[in-house]
Amino acid sequence: MPLPKAELHLHIEGTLEPELAFELAARNGVELPYADTEALRTAYRFEDLQSFLDLYYELMAVLRTEQDFADLANAYLARAAAQGVRHAEIFFDPQAHLTRGVGMGTVVEGLWRALEHSEREHGVSTLLIMCFLRDESAESATATLDAAKPYLDRITGIGLDSAEVGHPPAKFREVYEAAAALGLRRVAHAGEEGPPEYVTEALDVLGVERVDHGLRCMEDPALVQRLVRERIPLTLCPLSNVRLRAVDVLAEHPLPAMLDAGLLCTVNSDDPAYFGGYAGDNFDAVRAALGLGEERLRELARNSFVASFLEHDEERRARYLAEVEAYEF
Ligand code: HPA
Ligand SMILES: [Zn+2]
């Protein structure tokens, strides 16, 4: 049995495996510019975040109907469950679909078809976090929040993703304020490729409760101290960091130093279909490459539930935490 864990940094569109991409392309009459799954896989060699994002957005063309989104989420949930994920807080990127003529209702109701049966079918509790694309305008983010208003009973929080450098968090101050007023939880990608100042800005201007990646906080000792003091969770994605060249090799990942510094780190998969592994694969990889012992792995699993947005169900959180403490390696 794998170590029980929560996954807190997972883009559902990033779980689109080549096989499903071709299946959906055939179903929807969409032509992909790749001969087969093997040819597609050879395109999975990335220079940086942008070179990944180009392919990530290109392949989304196959997602058209509610059933496509349901199939995508079901495939993810089955894989995640097999790797010990007990709870998943799932990002989605509505703007990437709205601009292709696929409506908010198609996306949210489609994902919900899978999520509403997830506990029974996969043993995984879930919630949804709607991300804004930071390389789109602030006005577009606000229009996206408006489009989501009929579906807010299905959406727990908002996030911020896509190309980071040149798009500082403060650009989205207003939409984050509006989302907070609607009772939505707030997270944002910061400090993946962008500087530590973006992490500070995400905290101070956007009021985020959790920082996605946050890797580059390590360049600013005062920021590290603050993140420790305020118990701000960081959702790290080690295999993603290697594939997108935020770190050269996994053995040089700063995760051990971050844990030693007292940061509330979690380990997640980001875009598992593209980066070579799901949540459990990321745990296995850091264990092997960084020599993490059992108590460090247990700490990472414990952190994932502590950092989760399970405040509406503390009983469940306590149950998951008890599973972590009782786990025998
Ligand atoms: O790793 C990521 N970073 C930023 N945006 C993203 N959108 C999907 N994955 C990512
Ligand atoms: Zn991400």
Active site residues: 192
State whether the beta carbon of 14 lies less than 6 angstroms from ligand 1. Answer: yes
- Which has the closest alpha carbon to 296: 323, 321, 260, 270? 260
Distance (Å, rounded) from C-alpha 177 to C-alpha 241? Answer: 30
253 marked ligand binding residue: no
Cα-to-centroid distance, 328 and ligand 2 (Å): 30
**Which ligand 1 atom is the nearest neighbour of the CA of 11?**
8
What are the counts of helices (DSSP H) followed by strands (DSSP E) for the chain?
Answer: 17, 8
Distance set, CA 108 to CA 30, 139, 320 (Å): 22, 21, 27
pTM of the model: 0.98
State whether the beta carbon of 271 lies less than 6 angstroms from ligand 1. Answer: yes
97 marked ligand binding residue: no
Q: Could you read off the pLDDT tens digit of each residue along the chain, which spans 329 residues? A: 999 999 999 999 999 999 999 999 999 999 999 999 999 999 999 999 999 999 999 999 999 999 999 999 999 999 999 999 999 999 999 999 999 999 999 999 999 999 999 999 999 999 999 999 999 999 999 999 999 999 999 999 999 999 999 999 999 999 999 999 999 999 999 999 999 999 999 999 999 999 999 999 999 999 999 999 999 999 999 999 999 999 999 999 999 999 999 999 999 999 999 999 999 999 999 999 999 999 999 999 999 999 999 999 999 999 999 999 999 99
Concatenated DSSP letters of 64-109? -SHHHHHHHHHHHHHHHHHTTEEEEEEEE-HHHHHTTT--HHHHHH
pLDDT score recorded for residue 65: 98
Q: What is the SS3 string spanning the chain?
A: CCCCEEEEEEEHHHHCCHHHHHHHHHHHCCCCCCCCHHHHHCCCCCCCHHHHHHHHHHHHHHCCCHHHHHHHHHHHHHHHHHCCEEEEEEEECHHHHHCCCCCHHHHHHHHHHHHCCHHHHHCCEEEEEEEEECCCCHHHHHHHHHHHHHHHHHCCEEEEECCCCCCCHHHHHHHHHHHHHCCCEEEEEECCCCCHHHHHHHHHCCCCCEEEECHHHHHCHHHHHHHHHCCCEEEECHHHHHHCCCCCCHHHCCHHHHHHCCCEEEECCECHHHHCCCHHHHHHHHHHHHCCCHHHHHHHHHHHHHCCCCHHHHHHHHHHHHHHHHCCC
Instruction: Enumerate residues with CB within 5 Å of ligand 2 (an ion).
Output: 270
User: Do 215 and 198 touch, CB atoms closer than 8 A?
Assistant: no
pLDDT score recorded for residue 27: 98
User: Hey, is 188 helix, strand or coil?
Assistant: strand
Ordered by where they begin, the domains of the chain are 5-307 (3.20.20.140)
Mutate to test the pocket of ligand 1, among 60, 135, 164, 189 (most ligand atoms within 8 A of CB): 189
Q: Whose CA is nearest to atom 6 of ligand 1?
A: 162
271 marked ligand binding residue: yes
Residue recorded with tokens 């779980």: 15
